[in-house]
Structure 1
Amino acid sequence: MEKYYLAVDIGASSGRHILGSLKDGKLNLEEIYRFPNGMKDVDGSVCWDVEALFCEIKEGLKRCKEAGKIPSYMGIDTWAVDYVLLDGKDQVLGKTYGYRDSRTTGMDEKVYEIISREELYGRTGIQKQIFNTIYQLMAVKQKEPELFDKAESLLFIPDYFHFLLTGVKKTEYTNATTSQLVSPRTKDWDYELIDRLEYSRKIFGKISKPGTYVGNFREEIRREVGFDCQVILPATHDTGSAVAAIPTTKDNALYISSGTWSLMGTELMAADCTLESMKRNLTNEGGYDYRFRYLKNIMGLWMIQSVRREFKEEYSYDYICRQASEQTIPSIVDCNDNCFLAPKSMIEEVKDYCQKSGQQVPENEWETAAVIYNSLGRCYAETIGQIEQMTGQKYDRIYVVGGGSNAEYLNRITAKYTGRAVYAGPGEATAIGNLLVQMLYNQEFVNLKMARACVKDSFEIRKYEKT
């Protein structure tokens, strides 16, 4: 009888239930259910609707039952840094803020009044992003201190969904590291840092590794969806799962996890928390088996997604890529500038940036898209140079995984600007990595290298030559 594993992979714009199974040494995928997602305005705040998302999770489980393909194991991954605070009755306190909410503005300076940016990086190795959990919690302390008084626990979004399914609270390692509150040396919360910031120590639960058993479905969930299942922690940070699925057995591979964000980096066995690493704004996020994802957060396809929403007609991403490829505008923007994080109009923001920097201003949406794609390629090239300088390694190829690996024009642009061959695919890397960790738990693979070899053999990987 075929054994099924289920990855529930929830991104910033959509979620999907992907069933995985092994047959003749190859991984087979089947999408069972897909649903929309997005941040919503709640009384002037940018928030997630976690109640609606959990309903979608259960609906996807019911679809598995209807299809007669009941998973034995499952796990959920999402974006990082966002969380819920729970009271003593496990009820959500306050709003479930999204990372694009503006309440963190100025909270970095509040943190730096207590600990310098240099010491903070030395303790955590995490890239400064204004939406990191450390700054979100400072916003709670400054603006909603009553929530801390009532809070008994903090769970990141996927941990919260696992809790709703099983009744068991587990805090998963890869997501926890993005909070900028975890020590890369102890692989645990930096409680001294937490105390200095005057955050409530009790809300930070024990951290568990990917591949940890959480529990079986609660009786109420079993009745509702029609079956029982073992819930296993994947790398709950979607990038952690995507990196687990890089299709190579070589160590020190260079990758881009390409989607709403572009996460570009390599893997280290020990974090680099040096001042030079901090100056280059590189980060040391936790990975599977206590590897470190040494990478840079780049704005990524969020910019193209935002431009697409402004079009008068709905165009496919393939069509946008083709139109952008025919433009000759030379302008370049800094993809990591905060002005592109959540603008009212991405098109106008790109135009404004070009005008202020004395460059040619795009005259239409296709030139705007071309500026964004070329800017991403330039940013990738600069980031490779920084990573090579910091690691002492030379990289002749880039593995591009995730939804952005299907953007052929961007892959060609990446090869052009970086001077490296690009190996693109698989597109569903996040779900695949989620499934691999479940399979590693069930001893389908001896180790991660063997699991990655399976990915290499199971999926088409497209090569783009350097130019």
Structure 2
Amino acid sequence: MRRESGSAYSFAELAQLASAETPFASLVLCNQPSFLNPDSMTLEIQRFCEETGQPIPHTPGALARCIFDSLALSYRDALHELQSLTNETVTKLHVVGGGANNELLCQLTADLLEIEVQAGPSESTAIGNIVVQLISSGALGDLKAAGRTIASSFPTRLYEPQSVEGMEELLDRWKNLKIQATSLFTP
């Protein structure tokens, strides 16, 4: 979506615009095949919203809000699936890479997953490459030592979950949207 706008907005600017929009006005199912590699992500989001009877996001802020809200709800689904498969309870989620810089998405994730989100470091790929080389050279003993070194070397931000007004209704709406999309978009 950002690329389609000619990169008129930075990721930070899109998050700021999204913050000013009404939460959960429009939602999309991020794992829907039509979102994997569409010719136009903007048009695909708008088409999905139209076909599911939701408000159609037109502004960059409304589109970004739709994406962030939908991602956080998708993360909730993935976490619940992971917990049911492993029979383990996740009490904190670590977000690394560029997504760790998106305060809105990190807070939405904490709120909707109802767990703490630890965000950072944002340069995780480069750090991972360095750590592998340090372990290979013997400068770091193992992955546990590398983890301790990374944790003490790079700042992170903790997001505490806050209550979401109308959470039950939102989750019912999300569940119904998944049911509706299955009947609309399954060949």
Q: TM-score, normalised by structure 1?
A: 0.34
Aligned to 2:115: 420
CA RMSD after TM alignment: 1.3
Q: 2:3 aligns with which of 301, 304, 309?
A: 309
Pairs within 5 Å for 1:367-386: 367-386=62-81
Offset at residue 414 of structure 1 (A): 0.8
Offset at residue 312 of structure 1 (A): 5.8
State the secondary structure of the residue aligned to 2:150: helix
Matched, 1:408 2:103: yes
Offset at residue 347 of structure 1 (A): 0.8
| Contact 1:333 1:375 (8 Å CA) reproduced | yes
Offset at residue 311 of structure 1 (A): 2.0
Write the distance in 1 (CA, Å) between the matches of 2:2 and 2:122.
Answer: 20
Matched, 1:455 2:150: yes
Q: Which residue identity is paired with 2:17?
A: Q
| Contact 1:400 1:423 (8 Å CA) reproduced | yes
Matched, 1:444 2:142: no
Pairs within 5 Å for 1:189-228: none
CA deviations on 1:177-232 (whole Å, 9 max, x unpaired) are xxxxxxxxxxxxxxxxxxxxxxxxxxxxxxxxxxxxxxxxxxxxxxxxxxxxxxxx
- In structure 1, runs of 5+ residues without a counterpart are 1-306
Write the distance in 2 (CA, Å) between the matches of 1:402 and 1:349.
Answer: 26
Offset at residue 363 of structure 1 (A): 2.9
| Contact 1:347 1:365 (8 Å CA) reproduced | no
Q: Which has the larger radius of gyration?
A: 1
Q: 2:46 aligns with which of 343, 347, 351?
A: 351
| Contact 1:402 1:425 (8 Å CA) reproduced | yes
Higher-helix-fraction structure: 2
Offset at residue 457 of structure 1 (A): 0.3
Write the distance in 1 (CA, Å) between the matches of 2:66 and 2:20.
Answer: 12
Q: Which residue identity is paired with 1:314?
A: A
Offset at residue 402 of structure 1 (A): 0.7
CA deviations on 1:149-176 (whole Å, 9 max, x unpaired) are xxxxxxxxxxxxxxxxxxxxxxxxxxxx
Structure 1 stretches of at least 4 aligned residues deviating more than 4 Å after TM superposition: none
Q: 2:13 aligns with which of 319, 322, 330?
A: 319
Write the distance in 1 (CA, Å) between the matches of 2:121 and 2:83.
Answer: 25
- In structure 2, runs of 5+ residues without a counterpart are 163-187
Q: Which residue identity is paired with 2:158?
A: K
Write the distance in 2 (CA, Å) between the matches of 1:399 and 1:344.
Answer: 32
| Contact 2:96 2:124 (8 Å CA) reproduced | yes
Write the distance in 1 (CA, Å) between the matches of 2:25 and 2:51.
Answer: 15
Q: How many residues align?
A: 161
Percentage of identical aligned residues: 36
Q: Which residue identity is paired with 2:63?
A: T
Higher relative contact order (CA 8 A, sep 6+): 2
| Contact 1:398 1:421 (8 Å CA) reproduced | yes
State the secondary structure of the residue aligned to 2:93: strand
Write the distance in 2 (CA, Å) between the matches of 1:430 and 1:313.
Answer: 23
Write the distance in 1 (CA, Å) between the matches of 2:135 and 2:14.
Answer: 39
CA deviations on 1:7-44 (whole Å, 9 max, x unpaired) are xxxxxxxxxxxxxxxxxxxxxxxxxxxxxxxxxxxxxx
Q: TM-score, normalised by structure 2?
A: 0.82
State the secondary structure of the residue aligned to 1:438: helix
Pairs within 5 Å for 1:322-337: 322-328=16-22, 329-337=24-32
Offset at residue 313 of structure 1 (A): 6.4
State the secondary structure of the residue aligned to 2:108: helix
